[in-house]
Structure 1
Amino acid sequence: MISELNLTADLDSYLSFHIKKEVFAIEVGKVIEIMEVPNITFIPKAPKYMKGVINLRGKVIPVIDAGLKFGLDPIELTINSCIIIIKLESSDNEIEFGIIVDQVLEVFELNSNKLQASPDVGSEYNLDYIKGITKIDEEITMVIDIDKAFKAGEIKIKNEINQETKKTKK
């Protein structure tokens, strides 16, 4: 009985999804919700990977194209495409944003010591955002360290928009 408790204590839950033909996963604890892709409002002069913003129950949420963010082709919206709403906590505040993915696959549990290190591809490529790699059903899954992949400064558009909205309401 004790060994069973120790085994489950090291399990972490991850949400897997497709970006193009690649499989990625993030910690379930960072996910707020998964939603269909609504109308996205374009933001002029935003970074190329920033698709725009959506209104989620009265909150302005920035939306990022995960394909472009990770150096792949842009996500082409299909019936399977969805937005994963994520919460990041930084030292001074919480930031919510969405990433568009081709398809959400499943939630799985993984013992943290079963993650293999990301491959060394040379110093000109930064793979710090890859927490590790695992194999699920004969398919390689890259586990993303969401805090390293998305920095708070990249998503500051949300704060700027929310502050402008507050000014116009006064």
Structure 2
Amino acid sequence: MSEAVLDELTDLQHQQYLTFVLRDESYGISITAVKEIIEYGSVTSIPLMPEFVKGVLNLRGEVVPVIDLSIRFGKTPTKIHNRSCIVILEVPFEHQQVVLGVVVDAVNEVLDIRPEDIEGAPTFGAKIRAQFIKGVANINEQFVILLHGDRVLSVEEMANIIESVIEQ
């Protein structure tokens, strides 16, 4: 087998995940959803938005909503400090890619994780809704919760919540 074919097979067997910390827990999201990582700052709050919507930021002329992932998971708001950052993601919505930012405590690294190293989402005992969890990987004796980016950041669900708040 040629080296190019072997490289292609290896790519199919591994998926890369950006890992980050949120409330002392490690999470990962597919690198294919990540557009960029920026320093936290210049988030403009918007009145009457749900608590998990921190506001919007101007990213090179594009208005990007910023979500506090900690609140989205039903926890207390993220405390901003020197390692806090915003991960800019592209998520699918109605046949297009929508750009959203998520606030995290810190970004760790990009990891190659093989599908066989991922256990299914727990059916009970998880601190966040099971539908958000793609699976759990044990990396160097530490669990990393792998997220479904399109479910955690469901543009349709968030639009419905925001719409219901505006109607009140």
TM-score relative to the length of structure 1? 0.84
Residue matched to 2:80:
77
Q: Is residue 22 of structure 2 the alignment partner of residue 19 of structure 1?
A: yes
Q: How high is the sequence identity, in percent, across the aligned residues?
A: 31
Q: CA deviation at 1:10?
A: 1.1
Correspondences of 1:11-160 after superposition (within 5 Å) = 11-121=14-124, 126-156=129-159
1:93 is displaced (CA, Å) by: 2.6
Equivalent position to 1:9, from 12, 17, 30: 12
CA distance in 1, matches of 2:47, 2:149: 25
> 146-155 vs 135-144, which deviates more?
146-155
Q: Deviations over 1:141-166 (max 9, x none)?
A: 00001111111124549xx9xxxxxx
* Greater shift in the superposed pair: 2-11 or 68-77: 2-11
Find runs of 4+ consecutive structure 1 residues off by over 3 angstroms: 1-8, 154-157
Partner deviation per Cα, 1:21-59 (whole Å, 9 max, x = no partner): 000000000000000012211111111111000011111
TM-aligned CA deviation for residue 113 of structure 1: 2.5
TM-score by length of 2: 0.85
Describe the superposition over 1:60-112 as per-residue Cα deviations: whole angstroms up to 9, x where unpaired: 10000011111222110000000000001222432101000000000000112
Deviation at 1:7, TM superposition (A): 4.0
| Corresponding pairs, count | 156
Amino acid at match of 1:69: R
| Offset of residue 130 of structure 1 | 0.2
Contact preservation (8 Å) 1:97, 1:155: no
Query: 2:39–2:86: 8 Å Cα contact kept in structure 1?
Result: yes
1:168 counterpart residue number: none
| Structure 2 equivalent of residue 163 of structure 1 | none
CA-atom RMSD in angstroms: 2.1
What are the ranges of 5 or more consecutive residues in structure 1 without an aligned counterpart? 161-170
Say whether the 8 Å CA contact 2:117–2:138 is kept in structure 1.
no
AA aligned to 1:151 is S
